[in-house]
Amino acid sequence: MAPETQRHRTILDRMWAAGLPPIQIRPMEGKLLQFLSCNAQKAVEIGTLGGYSACWIADALAEGGRLYTFEADPDYAELALSSFQQVGIAEKVSIVVGDANETLKTIEPFGPFDFCFIDADKISYPHYFRWAARHLRVGGIVAADNAYLFGKVHLNPDKEPEDAPAIRAMQEAIDILTNPSYFSVCTMIPTGEGMAVGIK
């Protein structure tokens, strides 16, 4: 298991105390995010939750770098902001509250970006991948968690009506990732839930 700092544990403790769902990345994925976002000047995260993954990315930023993290739930965003302030990374992180399908456009003038991490609603993954393809710099990296879709990404959506929208969305997202007109290189890192990674 990758080592957590006290700051990471503090954020987790605050998340549990607030009753947030236990759906954050694990320390191993956190260390992977640190590696992928190493020395990024401008990074994006879609899906803040309580701020645990944001802390891993913030640790990797270049001096003066900034992470823009997006969260649909205002209560989660408020908790994350207070956690960032408590652990001393608030000056590196900007939280944007609202549906990222709409609010991502608010940071587009600050691009292009070096790194984008996607860990949010699975139905919107195709939109998020296309956004990353447009707004990452050449050589920039996109990473997306849960790319295995909890073991369902390979299923035929016509035979899985309950999960069909998510299955189709994730399959479309992977098609975008593997399209060389969007990303020059891609891979699937076999974490517990699958981390899809592409380089623009």
What's the whole-model pTM score? 0.96
Residue 101 lies in a domain: yes
For residue 70, what are the contacts with CB-CB under 8 A and spacing of at least 6? 44, 45, 46, 47, 48, 95, 96, 98, 100, 103, 104, 120
Residue 95's closest CA among 124, 146, 58, 125?
58
> Cα separation of 85 and 77, whole Å?
12
pLDDT for the residue numbered 43: 98
User: pLDDT for 30-64, tens place per residue?
Assistant: 999 999 999 999 999 999 999 999 999 999 999 99
Tokens of 191: 């974490």
Residue 165 lies in a domain: yes
Residue 1 lies in a domain: no
pLDDT for the residue numbered 4: 87
Residue 184 lies in a domain: yes
pLDDT for the residue numbered 3: 80
Residue 49 lies in a domain: yes
Domain with 24 in it: what CATH number? 3.40.50.150
Residue 146 lies in a domain: yes
In contact, 142 and 129? CB cutoff 8 Å: yes
Residue 93 lies in a domain: yes
Given a cut of 50, the residues of the chain with pLDDT beneath it are none
Q: Which residues pair with 196 in a beta bridge?
A: 144, 188
User: pLDDT for 88-111, tens place per residue?
Assistant: 999 999 999 999 999 999 999 999
Domain that holds residue 15: 6-199
Number of domains observed in the structure of the chain: 1
